[in-house]
């Protein structure tokens, strides 16, 4: 009986395609740092409330460095640029997200806005986009 040649060839093509997918350049950064698309409509966009305030210029720069100057907040997750920061809600209702350098940022609701506090102590006020 003649062995079916088409099946192994098809399997090889599927395997090759899968391997090519694994080695593709798109989709992720290295080292497990996942880049994701920010949600198209879920959550809310938050931004620094008073970007011209000189008193918070330094902490605004720190927020920018981590992509936190404009974020999508969807549940406990914050999207900083294309980096998803998986947050946890603490007992006060604040959301704590880990940052790349080992620090954390805590987002605490404050009236219509929220306060972003770095673990180093600096704070800056945020507002929901579209609100004054």
Partner 1 sequence: MTTRHSIVLAGLAVLGPALATAAVAQDGGLDETQVALVYHAITGEPLDFERIAQASDAVRRASNFDRPDVIAAEVARLERMAAAADPSRSFQTRVNDNISEYDHTREQFSITLFTPGYYVPVDAFGQRYQLVFANAESVRAIPMPKEEAREFDILLNRIGRRVTNEIRFRVTGQGDPAGGVTGARVIQAEILEVRLMDRNGNVVHVPTPTAAAALLATVPFDPATADVAGFRVGVKGKDLEASLTRLYGEVSRRQAKSDGFPGIATVMVVNELGCRSIIGRRTKPKPGDVCLTALLDEKDVVRSIRIERRFPPFGSEVFRSAMAAKYGAVADARSGSIYVLSWGPEVDARLGVRALSASYEADSDFMDRGLNRAADMVVTLHLVDAAWASRTAQQ
The verdict on 18 binding partner 1 (CB under 8 A) reads no
14-20 contacts at long range (C-beta below 8 A, 24 or more positions apart): none
Among 8, 14, 21, 29, which residue sits at the site for partner 1 (rule: CB under 8 A)? 29
Those residues whose C-beta lies under 8 Å from the C-beta of residue 78, and which sit 6 or more positions away, are 68, 71, 72, 84, 85, 87, 95, 97, 107
Pick one of 82, 86, 119, 123: the residue that binds partner 1 (CB under 8 A). Answer: 82
Among 18, 21, 53, 123, indicate the residue that binds partner 1 (CB under 8 A).
53
Q: Tell me the window of 8-16, 59-67, 88-96, 108-116 that interacts with partner 1 (CB under 8 A).
A: 59-67
């Amino acid at each position: 009986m003649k062995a079916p040649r088409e099946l192994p060839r098809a399997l090889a093509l599927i395997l090759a395609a899968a391997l090519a997918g694994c080695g593709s350049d798109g989709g992720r950064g290295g080292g497990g740092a996942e880049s994701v698309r920010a949600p198209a409509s879920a959550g809310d966009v938050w931004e620094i409330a008073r970007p011209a305030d000189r008193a918070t210029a330094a902490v605004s720069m720190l927020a920018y460095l981590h992509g936190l100057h404009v974020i999508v907040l969807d549940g406990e997750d914050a999207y900083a640029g294309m980096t998803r920061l998986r947050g946890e809600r603490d007992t006060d209702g604040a959301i704590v997200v880990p940052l790349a350098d080992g620090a954390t940022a805590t987002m605490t609701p404050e009236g219509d806005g929220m306060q972003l506090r770095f673990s180093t102590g600096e704070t800056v006020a945020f507002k929901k986009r579209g609100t004054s």
